[in-house]
Amino acid sequence: MRDGVDRNAPAYWDARFAEDGFAYGTEPNDFLRLVADRLPGGDALCLCEGEGRNATFLAQRGMRTTAMDFSAVALRKAEGLAAQRGLRLQILCCDLAGFDPGVGRWDVITMIFGQPDPLLRRALYARLAACLRPGGALVLETKVEEDAASDSRYPGSSVLCAELAGLDFAIARDSTRVLREGRYHDGEQRTAQILAFRPGYP
């Protein structure tokens, strides 16, 4: 909680996503777009997906895509965005803390600017390799706090890679870049970007 506001609460995000328009735009995250041609086809899970910009992008590329978020408001907008594009998403409204992604179920998992607290993040990331099929890919981008330690909500890629056991890393980097992703991601931001694969072959 910061400034008396609980950013872990669905009500906080419901209020943001209830605003007019799309809080983070309708175009996919540009790191996801950059690595898209390196991803396998099949079943995709978009964690903390919000209003659907990344899920619809993967669905447009022929993937069977599940958008997961704890904001029902966001997911209604995700369904609407997909429908506008002649697409259909699987929608899953639940809290990340109680979510079971399954074992060997996904070919691609994305988590773009998700904000789990450190304990939840470490528990989730330790499981993600097992959730992927052999050869499956994880795409992750998150903000980074300067000099962030592992107990921070926003550590750098070196900490995140240590938490993501069992994956081979194709990209793992921190950089300062300019975001142009709707009104809440507009300006310079330091981020961690990770593209990783579960060893093996599909």
Residue 1 lies in a domain: no
Angle between the N-to-C axes of helices 72-84 and 53-60, in degrees from 0 to 180, rounded to the nearest 10: 30
- Residue 153: per-residue pLDDT: 84
Domain limits for position 45: 10-197
How many domains are contained in the chain? 1
- Residue 202: per-residue pLDDT: 61
DSSP per residue over 98-120, as a string?
G----SS-EEEEEEES----HHH
Q: What is the dihedral of CA 91, 97, 98, 104, to 10 degrees?
A: 70
Q: Chain-centre distance of CA 39, in angstroms?
A: 15
Residue 154 lies in a domain: yes
pLDDT in tens, the chain (202 residues): 455 556 667 777 767 767 777 767 789 999 999 999 999 999 999 999 989 999 999 999 999 999 999 889 989 999 999 999 999 999 999 999 889 999 999 999 999 999 888 999 999 999 999 999 999 999 999 989 876 666 788 899 999 999 999 999 999 999 998 877 766 666 688 899 999 999 986 6
Residue 142 lies in a domain: yes
Q: What is the pTM of this model?
A: 0.91
- Residue 20: per-residue pLDDT: 74
Residue 155 lies in a domain: yes
Edge-to-edge strand ranges of the sheet holding 64-69: 90-93, 64-69, 43-47, 106-112, 132-143, 186-197, 168-180
CATH number at residue 148: 3.40.50.150
Q: How far is CA 132 from CA 162, 193, 198, in A?
A: 18, 19, 7
- Residue 26: per-residue pLDDT: 85
Residue 5 lies in a domain: no
Residue 136 lies in a domain: yes
Q: Across 13-75, where does the E strand assignment appear? A: 43-47, 64-69
- Please tell me the number of Cα atoms within 13 Å of 77 on its side-chain side: 24
Residue 3 lies in a domain: no
Residue 202 lies in a domain: no
Q: Across the chain, where does the E strand assignment appear? A: 43-47, 64-69, 90-93, 106-112, 132-143, 168-180, 186-197
| Contact in structure between 23 and 17 (CB atoms under 8 Å) | yes
